[in-house]
């Protein structure tokens, strides 16, 4: 029998002598099992980063700098949060306000993010909720900014950051950034903006790491991903 979401499911006839309580059959489901998730805003958070294999794990998806984009994108996702994440409403020193969204904490004020969301029915209303700091569910989040869309935007941003970083001079070598140092610098800019000084010791109190440490942590995870993808 076919059922739609939230419809009642027919279990069988009711035995009035048993007060309508169904009798267990002892059968076990052969379907998916999920780990318990934290309850956020009164509902269980659906960690789509565990359920949806968004990462392609392609050894040939290489940036012109030689950096594997899939391995780096995955490293950034590991350092950040899951695809259904919705952050608090915050404003920076320039009074640019918004909320961090998804696996890489894209800001809701980003023109690219807003374009994706408003292209969908109900997207403008969803943005209004984000803009005034209203509570939104993980289901709404992934409906209007899906894991696939996050991944696509993630790859575009990562490519741009790698290109920008490769034009800068590594103070350690006196030459343009390459290899692991390029990964570190690109992720430093992702973390704190393209104008952040190289290897800055500025700390993000919410994450407890400096900009320099963030780049190093992500570079370490990037190398681990290359190993697990057998792309070395």
**48 lies in a domain?**
no
Residue-range definition of the domain harbouring residue 84: 71-228
**Please, is 49 exposed, middle or buried when counting C-beta atoms within 10 Å of its C-beta (0-12, 13-18, 19+)?**
buried
**176 lies in a domain?**
yes
Confidence at residue 192, expressed as pLDDT on a 0 to 100 scale:
85
Show the low-confidence residues of the chain (pLDDT under 70). Answer: 1-7, 10-57, 78-81, 92-94, 205-207
**191 lies in a domain?**
yes
Number of domains in the chain: 1
**Please, is 100 exposed, middle or buried when counting C-beta atoms within 10 Å of its C-beta (0-12, 13-18, 19+)?**
middle
**40 lies in a domain?**
no
**5 lies in a domain?**
no
How many whole angstroms separate alpha carbon 175 and alpha carbon 32? 51
Contacts of 103 (CB under 8 A, 6+ apart): 49, 76, 77, 80, 81, 82, 83, 85, 147, 150, 154
**125 lies in a domain?**
yes
Confidence at residue 79, expressed as pLDDT on a 0 to 100 scale:
63
Tokens representing 196 are 């952040």
Confidence at residue 229, expressed as pLDDT on a 0 to 100 scale:
92
User: What pTM was estimated for this model as a whole?
Assistant: 0.68
The b-or-e profile of 141-155 (16+ CB within 10 A means b, else e) is bbbbbbbebbbebbb
Grouping H, G, I as helix, E, B as strand and the rest as coil, residue 203 is strand
**66 lies in a domain?**
no
Residue listed under structure tokens 């692991």? 180
**93 lies in a domain?**
yes
**Please, is 56 exposed, middle or buried when counting C-beta atoms within 10 Å of its C-beta (0-12, 13-18, 19+)?**
middle
Residue listed under structure tokens 């950096």? 67
Confidence at residue 81, expressed as pLDDT on a 0 to 100 scale:
58
Tokens representing 230 are 């057998």
Q: Treating both helix axes as pointing N-terminal to C-terminal, what angle do 211-228 and 69-79 enclose, rounded to 10 degrees? A: 130
Q: Treating both helix axes as pointing N-terminal to C-terminal, what angle do 147-165 and 179-192 enclose, rounded to 10 degrees? A: 120
Please give the sequence-ordered ranges of beta strands (E in DSSP) within 55-181, or none if there are none: 86-91, 97-101, 106-107, 169-170, 175-176
């Amino acid at each position: 029998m076919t059922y739609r979401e939230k419809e009642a499911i027919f279990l069988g006839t009711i035995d009035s002598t048993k007060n309508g309580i169904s009798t267990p059959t002892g059968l076990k489901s052969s379907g998916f099992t999920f780990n318990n998730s934290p309850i956020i805003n009164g509902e269980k958070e659906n960690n789509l980063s565990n359920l949806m294999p968004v990462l392609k794990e392609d050894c040939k998806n290489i940036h012109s700098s030689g950096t594997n984009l899939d391995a780096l994108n995955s490293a950034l996702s590991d350092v950040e949060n899951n695809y259904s994440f919705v952050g608090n409403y915050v404003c920076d020193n320039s009074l640019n306000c918004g909320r961090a969204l998804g696996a890489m904490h894209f800001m809701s004020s980003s023109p690219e993010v807003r374009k994706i969301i408003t292209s969908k029915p109900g997207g403008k209303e969803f943005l209004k909720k984000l803009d005034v700091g209203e509570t939104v569910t993980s289901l709404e989040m992934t409906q209007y900014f899906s894991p696939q869309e996050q991944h696509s935007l993630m790859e575009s941003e990562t490519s741009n950051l790698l290109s920008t970083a490769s034009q800068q001079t590594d103070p350690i070598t006196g030459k343009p950034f390459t290899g692991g140092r390029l990964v570190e610098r690109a992720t430093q800019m992702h973390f704190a903006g393209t104008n952040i000084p190289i290897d800055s010791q500025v700390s993000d109190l919410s994450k407890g790491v400096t900009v320099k440490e963030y780049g190093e942590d992500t570079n370490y995870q990037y190398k681990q991903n290359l190993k697990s993808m057998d792309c070395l």
